[in-house]
Chain A
Amino acid sequence: MAAISRTFASQLVNRSYVNVPASAGALKKAFSISSSSRDEETQAPTLASTKSRSSAGPLNRSLVNAAPNTNYQTRLQHTNTTTIPDFSKYKKDGNNYDSGRAFTYFMVGTTGFLSAAGAKATVTDFLANMSASADVLALAKVEVELASIPEGKNVTIKWRGKPVFIRHRTGDEIQEAEAVNVSELRDPQTDAERVKKPEWLVMLGVCTHLGCVPIGEAGDFGGWYCPCHGSHYDISGRIRQGPAPLNLEVPEYSFTEDKLIVG
C-alpha cells in the first residue's frame, strides 16, 4: 500500500517538459532541445521513442510529445514572449484611470448597500411573521374595573386559562401583611415585593404545590387555603403552612387610572 501511494505521489509531481527514455544520450539530447534555440530543431528525430509508457501520471505534462520521425519541427512553448501585443486600442486615453476606478468602487458599494438593505428586510419580515399578532396580544390581556371591587373583597378572573385573585385589601390587612417577620418564611418575600399598590393584591390562583385553586378568606393565616393538601397562605399570598414550597405567583400587571390590566 505504501509502495503504491509513493508511486502515485511521484507520478503526481512528475512534470517533465520532455519525456525521455533513461539513457545518457537521450538525456543529453533532451536537455539540448529544451534549453536551446531553434538552431537544432532540424535534428530531433530521436525523440520518436520518447513517449514513455509508465511515467505518464495524471499531471504529467510534457511540452514536447513524441513526434514523427521525418520533418520534425520542435514546437517550443516559450518563444517570443517578450513581444507584447499592442493593447493601446483597449486602454483609456492618457492617465485617465481615476474615474474608472471610482466608478468601479461606486458600483461595488452600491451593490453592497442594496443587498445589505434587502437582506435586512428579508430577515425582518421573517421575524415579524413569527411574532404574535395584534389580536393574539389583545386576547392575552384582561382588564378589570377597580371600582367594582369593594374593600375587603376578593375577585377571581380568568386570565390565559388560569384564575387570578384580586383582593382589595383593607388597611388592617396591609399592616398585618407588612408586620410579618420575613426571615421565618419558607419563601422570604416582603409584602412590598409582591404588590405595586398595597391595597391591591394581584396573584395567580394556582397553588404552588400541585396546582389546585386555593379558597379565599380561609385558612389559619387569614388569607387563602388550599383544600387539596392543606397549604395555608397569608393575606399577602405567601406560603405559611403546608406542603407548598413557594408563595402564590404574581403575574405581570399594571394600573391605568381606573382599571387593572393583567398581562
Chain B
Amino acid sequence: MSLANTFYNTLVKKNSVFVATIFGSAFAFEVAFDTTSTKVWDSFNKGKQWKDIKDKYVQ
C-alpha cells in the first residue's frame, strides 16, 4: 500500500519524471538484456567460438 503510494508520488505524478523514468529504464533494460543474452549465448556455444579457440592459432 505504502509502496504503491511511494511509487506513484515519486515516479508518476510529474509527467516529465515519468517519461524520464521510462527512457532510463529502457536504457538499463537494454544493457541488462544484452549482457544476459550474450552470456547465455556464450555459455551455450562454449568452445565453438573464435575467441575460445583463438589461443590455438594465434601466438
Contacts and interface: CB of A to CB of B under 8 A. Distances in A.
A102 B5 CA distance: 7
Given A98-B1, A99-B1, A105-B12, A116 B22 contact: yes
A113 B20 CA distance: 10
19 contacts: A96-B1, A98-B4, A99-B4, A101-B8, A102-B8, A103-B4, A105-B7, A105-B8, A105-B12, A109-B11, A109-B12, A109-B18, A109-B21, A109-B22, A112-B22, A114-B29, A117-B26, A117-B27, A117-B33
**Contact residues of A: prevailing secondary structure:** helix
Interface of B: 1, 3-5, 7-8, 11-12, 18, 21-23, 25-27, 29-30, 33
A109 to B, nearest CB: 5
B31 to A, nearest CB: 10
Interface residues of A, number: 16
Contacts of B8: 98, 101-102, 105
Given A105-B11, A120-B26, 12 more contacts: A98-B1, A101-B4, A102-B7, A102-B8, A105-B8, A109-B18, A109-B25, A113-B25, A113-B29, A117-B27, A117-B29, A117-B33
Contacts of A8: none
B22 A113 contact: yes
Nearest to B29: A117
B36 to A, nearest CB: 13
Interface of A: 96, 98-99, 101-103, 105-106, 109, 112-114, 116-117, 120-121
B41 to A, nearest CB: 16
Contacts of B5: 98, 102
Contacts of B18: 105, 109
A160 B27 CA distance: 39
Most chain A CB within a 10 A radius of its CB, from B12, B22, B25: B22
Contacts of B12: 102, 105, 109
Contact of B26 (A98, A99, A101, A113): A113
Nearest to A115: B26
B4 A113 contact: no
B30 A117 contact: yes
Contacts of A109: 11-12, 18, 21-22, 25
Contacts of B7: 102, 105-106
Contacts of A96: 1
A125 to B, nearest CB: 12
A116 B4 contact: no
Contacts of A113: 22-23, 25-26, 29
